[in-house]
Structure 1
Amino acid sequence: MGIAVIEKIENHYRAHFERRLQHNVEEVWAWLTENEKLAKWFNELRVGDLSEGGFMRFDMQDGTFEELAITELKLYSVFQFSWWADTVRFELFPDSDGCKLVLIETIEKMTDHTPKDLAGWHVCLDVIEALMDGRTIERMEEWKKWYENYKQAVKNVTS
């Protein structure tokens, strides 16, 4: 899988990830929105109220939780929620062999943490695909590799 396309657009940035999956949109949607499946690829994140205007719940790992607003929801098509000051958007496009999964993170301000998040999303998408295919991935090793790529990509777009 190639690195996400990262661009500066007006006064913010956008990271665009794509994955071609051999699974239908209903299966992929379940991995994005059902807490039992979500826990397998993003342990800190849960759906609190799956509706437009509902929320995601992020476990801060210190006994506290943050609620992230679900800002757009179209069944089997679009799932968008706030990611603190940023936005995370999943889009699903059916095709004859499964579907295309797109993740777009709209980033208000690049920080030292941004490449970590981008590498994290990259690996999350790889993990979803692996789990659906019955495989496993060594997450930390993959993350370390992609983190170096995303550090350079962020540097390229901000310099």
Structure 2
Amino acid sequence: MVIAHIKQTGETCIARFERHLNHSVEEAWSWLTENEKLAQWFPELQVGDLREGGFMQFDMGNGTFEKLEITEFGKFSVLEFAWWEDSVRFELHPLADGCDLILVEKINNITDHTPKDLAGWHVCLDVIGALLDGRAIDRTEEWKKWYERYVQAIKRIK
């Protein structure tokens, strides 16, 4: 599998991940929006209020939660929310044999943490696909494998 397509557009960096899933948009959507399923691929992230203007919440691990505003919402098609100073957008596109899942992260400031986030999103999407297929993935090993590739990719655009 290839890494995300990453490009610099003015002051913003755009990372676009694409996955084909052999499952319906409704099935895929449930993994993005139902807390019981969301916890299986991103335990720190939860749906708070699922609507445009609502929020996702991130468990900071110290007893506090950050609210991340949902900036665009279209049932079974778009879920976009703030990712602190950046944004994360999930899109689902129906196809005859399943759907395409697109994740676009808009990154306003590239930091040393950026490759970690990108490798994390890469693995999250792989885990969603595996869970839909009834398989398991070792997240830690997969993350290590992809992290160095994202470090190199970010170096190329800086």
TM-score by length of 1: 0.99
Write the distance in 2 (CA, Å) between the matches of 1:96 and 1:126: 21
2:117 equivalent in structure 1: 117
Matched residue, 1:127: 127
Match of 2:12 in 1: 12
Q: SS at the partner of 1:27?
A: helix
Are residue 63 (structure 1) and residue 63 (structure 2) matched? yes
User: For 1:111-148, what per-residue CA distance to the aligned partner results, in whole angstroms no more than 9, with x for missing partners?
Assistant: 00000000000000000000110000011000001000
Match of 1:27 in 2: 27
1:137 partnered with 2:134: no
**Matched residues in 2 for 1:78 and 1:111: separation?**
27
1:75 corresponding residue in structure 2: 75
| Poorly superposed stretches of 4+, deviation over 3 Å | none
- For residue 31 of structure 1, give the secondary structure of its aligned residue in structure 2: helix
Q: Secondary structure at the match of 1:37?
A: helix
3-state DSSP of counterpart to 2:127: helix
Q: 2:109 is paired with a residue of what secondary structure?
A: coil
Unaligned runs of 5+ in 1: none
Report the AA paired with residue 66 of structure 1.
E
Q: 2-side partners of 1:36 and 1:156: how far apart?
A: 38
**Which position in structure 2 is the counterpart of 1:95?**
95
Percent of counterpart pairs with the same letter?
65
2: CA distance, partners of 1:112 / 1:62: 23
Aligned-pair CA distance for 1:10: 1.3
Partner of 2:39 in structure 1? 39
Partner SS state of residue 63, structure 1? coil
Residue 26 of structure 1 deviates from its aligned partner by 0.3
How many Å apart are 1:11 and its aligned residue? Answer: 1.1
CA deviations 1:67-117 (Å, max 9, x no partner) are: 000000011111000000000000010001000000000000100000000
Alignment-mate amino acid for residue 98 of structure 2: G
Q: CA RMSD in A?
A: 0.4
SS at match of 2:99: strand
CA–CA distance in structure 1, aligned partners of residues 87 and 101 of structure 2: 16
Matching residue of 2:51: 51
